[in-house]
Amino acid sequence: MSKICVIGTGYVGLVTGTCFAELGNQVTCLDTDPVRINGLLQGQMPIYEPGLEQLVEQNVQAKRLHFTQDYQSALEGAEYAFIAVGTPSGVDGEADLQYVKAAAESIADIVDFPILVINKSTVPVGTGDWVADIIRRRRGNRPLEFAVVSNPEFLREGSAINDFMAPDRVVLGSEDRSSANRVAELYKPLRCTIMVTDLRTAEMIKYASNAFLATRISFINEIGNMCEDLGADVREVAQGMGLDKRIGRHFLDAGLGWGGSCFPKDVKALEHMAVLHGTQPQLLQAVMEINRNQRRRAVMKLRKALGTLNEKTIGILGISFKPNTDDIRDSAAVEIMHLLINEGAHIQAYDPQAMDNAAKVLKKVKLCESPYEVAEGADALLLATEWNEFKQIDFAKIKELIRNPLILDGRNLWDYDLLKSMGFTYMGIGRGNN
Ligand SMILES: NC(=O)c1ccc[n+]([C@@H]2O[C@H](COP(=O)([O-])OP(=O)(O)OC[C@H]3O[C@@H](n4cnc5c(N)ncnc54)[C@H](O)[C@@H]3O)[C@@H](O)[C@H]2O)c1
């Protein structure tokens, strides 16, 4: 059993801390946000993540998982300090490292025993060395025995616990093999592939992975747009491509593009790193432009079908950036709603889990209690997030409620033939044969 402190109790920190506790370690999750910590102390989850609430409760009851705002008590006797704070986009697209810096400084100020500092936040290449420098400089003539290990996180919101407990790989980067091996000990119970690299390579693996996945989605969206013009069906194109083992089927779903808390900021940060160091990241720039365009294209389709968006009522199904999460950071749905509002449209929207987060930022949107309320009086319905709940929709009821039976299925979720036979005008993405 090891003593672990996790700094930052968000999507990554809370899942990491809870899963390490489940593996039998003593874990304290620390956060500077009092609302978050007070809520957790009362058993309230700050995020929606399937299975998390139960796992937190179990480990709190077993006294292996603790929450605090107090750095001193969180770090007391910790052998491992995981940094899992946010690294949002800065003004020029660079990763904003202020929270990482604050965490490193707190470790330097408080710890007086040997400790491993493990960076789980997604950080630019070279940040591990920078964190070590911050700690060294801050200590001055009070040297601290420590090492920095990079341990990028690959979990996906919506399946985070499974991704943590059964990862494809764990990547550990360090200049000191024995430190990496000590972190590897924590992951041994998972019986997964553990890859040890130098610090900078580990940091780059994370960015390169996210950029590659975003590239696949932009690629299939570009192909989808061509399918619309050329009379092909992108869903079958993706299936046909994916059957080739060299290609595979994952991340080849045409839709409204990628969003969320990671891809947009990470691709931007990688582009920024490239430019800073003299490389022209042409592919990354195209990947981002295709993604921006995909959102504008959805608005264009609605405008074209309705003649104008001014004074039209558009119903939006799904607000989170993908299903099974309440995270709306850089969600395609949110940006599309803003674009529609700018053109004078009225928006009514519903999401199975993201309504609280939506209420904080979507002040001009009517938030509804069901898909049927969304459809009521609407001139068009846009499916923005493919929640399972939306697969079961009663379209006969929608048809009665909607003013104009026009559907833009932004995730190719629904059955074209069925909807057409019911009298809907149906538009999908990349379905040029419909
Ligand atoms: N969300 C994901 O799916 C995901 C997946 C892989 C990697 N990541 C990376 O992991 C990192 C964390 O992402 P997230 O989505 O969990 O962020 P988040 O915004 O959900 O959580 C970050 C938490 O850190 C806290 N915090 C900020 N400064 C702090 C400090 N000095 N001390 C203690 N707590 C502090 C915030 O209050 C917040 O609760 C990011 O670098 C992200 O890119 C995220």
pLDDT digits (tens, 9 = 90+) for 84-93: 999 999 999 9
Residues 173 and 300 in one domain: no
Residues 157 and 217 in one domain: no
Does any domain span residue 105?
yes
Gap from CA of 181 to ligand 1 centroid (Å): 25
Whether 5 is catalytic is no
What is the rounded CA–CA span in Å between residue 70 and residue 79? 17
Gap from CA of 70 to ligand 1 centroid (Å): 17
Q: How far is Cα of residue 30 from the mean position of the Cα atoms in its chain?
A: 21
Low-confidence ranges of the chain (pLDDT < 50): none
pTM above 0.75, yes or no: yes
> Per the structure, how many domains does the chain have?
2
Gap from CA of 225 to ligand 1 centroid (Å): 35
Q: Which residues of 67-82 are buried (b: 16+ CB within 10 A; e: fewer)?
A: bbbebeebbeebbbbb
Active site residue: 29, 227, 262, 368, which one? 262
**Token digits for 414?**
């629904």
* 155: phi then psi, degrees, rounded to nearest 5: -65, 155
Spatial CA neighbour of 313 closest among 257, 364, 259, 389:
364
What is the rounded CA–CA span in Å between residue 338 and residue 328? 13
pLDDT at 433: 77
Which residue, judged by its Cα, is nearest atom 37 of ligand 1?
A: 33
Residues 258 and 157 in one domain: no
Average pLDDT, the chain: 97
**Token digits for 270?**
């990688």
**Token digits for 367?**
């938030």
Helix 282-306 with 263-276: angle, nearest 10 deg:
140
Residues 157 and 288 in one domain: no
* 429: phi then psi, degrees, rounded to nearest 5: -120, 120
Give the whole-number percent of the chain exceeding pLDDT 70. Answer: 100
What is the rounded CA–CA span in Å between residue 19 and residue 24? 9
Does any domain span residue 203?
no
Gap from CA of 275 to ligand 1 centroid (Å): 26
Residues 223 and 190 in one domain: no
Residues 178 and 217 in one domain: no
**Token digits for 6?**
């996790």
Give the DSSP letter string of 44-77: --SS--TTHHHHHHHHHHTT-EEEES-HHHHHTT
Gap from CA of 194 to ligand 1 centroid (Å): 23
pLDDT at 263: 97
Residues 394 and 301 in one domain: yes
Minimum-distance ligand 1 atom for the alpha carbon of 262: 43
* 27: phi then psi, degrees, rounded to nearest 5: -125, 135
Taking the alpha carbons of 159, 238, 321, 273 in that order, is the dihedral positive or negative? positive
What is the rounded CA–CA span in Å between residue 190 and residue 167? 8
Does any domain span residue 228?
yes
Domain limit, last residue, from 197, 232, 252? 197
Beta strand 26-30 with 425-427 is unpaired
Residues 385 and 302 in one domain: yes
Residues 151 and 236 in one domain: no
pLDDT at 371: 98
pLDDT at 228: 97
Tell me: the pLDDT tens digits for 1-33?
899 999 999 999 999 999 999 999 999 999 999
In terms of phi and psi (left: phi > 0; alpha: psi -120 to 50; beta: otherwise), the region of 100 is alpha
CATH number at residue 23: 3.40.50.720
Spatial CA neighbour of 431 closest among 407, 399, 398:
407
DSSP annotation of 313: E
Which residue, judged by its Cα, is nearest atom 18 of ligand 1?
A: 10
Give the DSSP letter string of 167-224: -S-EEEE-SSHHHHHHHHHHHGGG---EEEE-HHHHHHHHHHHHHHHHHHHHHHHHHH
Residues at CB less than 6 angstroms from ligand 1? 7-13, 30-33, 36, 84-87, 99, 102-103, 121-122, 153, 155, 157, 261-262
Q: Which residues pair with 406 in a beta bridge?
A: 425
Residues 58 and 145 in one domain: yes
Residues 79 and 184 in one domain: yes
Helix 199-230 with 127-139: angle, nearest 10 deg:
140
Task: State which residues form the domain around 241.
Answer: 212-427
pLDDT at 368: 98
Does any domain span residue 205?
no
Task: Pick from 7, 9, 11, 123 the residue to mutate for probing ligand 1's pocket: most ligand atoms within 8 Å of its CB.
Answer: 11
Q: Which residues pair with 433 in a beta bridge?
A: none
Does any domain span residue 207?
no
Domain limit, last residue, from 150, 169, 197? 197
Does any domain span residue 236?
yes
Residues 174 and 262 in one domain: no
Does any domain span residue 288?
yes
Q: Which residues contact 147 (CB under 8 A, 6 or more apart)?
A: 116, 117, 132, 174, 175, 176, 179
Domain limit, last residue, from 166, 197, 228? 197
Gap from CA of 261 to ligand 1 centroid (Å): 10
Does any domain span residue 432?
no
Minimum-distance ligand 1 atom for the alpha carbon of 120: 10
Task: Pick from 5, 7, 9, 12 the residue to mutate for probing ligand 1's pocket: most ligand atoms within 8 Å of its CB.
Answer: 12
In terms of phi and psi (left: phi > 0; alpha: psi -120 to 50; beta: otherwise), the region of 150 is beta
80 touches 20 (CB < 8 A): no
Strand order in the sheet with 3-7: 65-68, 26-30, 3-7, 80-83, 115-119, 146-150, 170-173, 194-197
Task: Pick from 15, 19, 30, 31 the residue to mutate for probing ligand 1's pocket: most ligand atoms within 8 Å of its CB.
Answer: 31
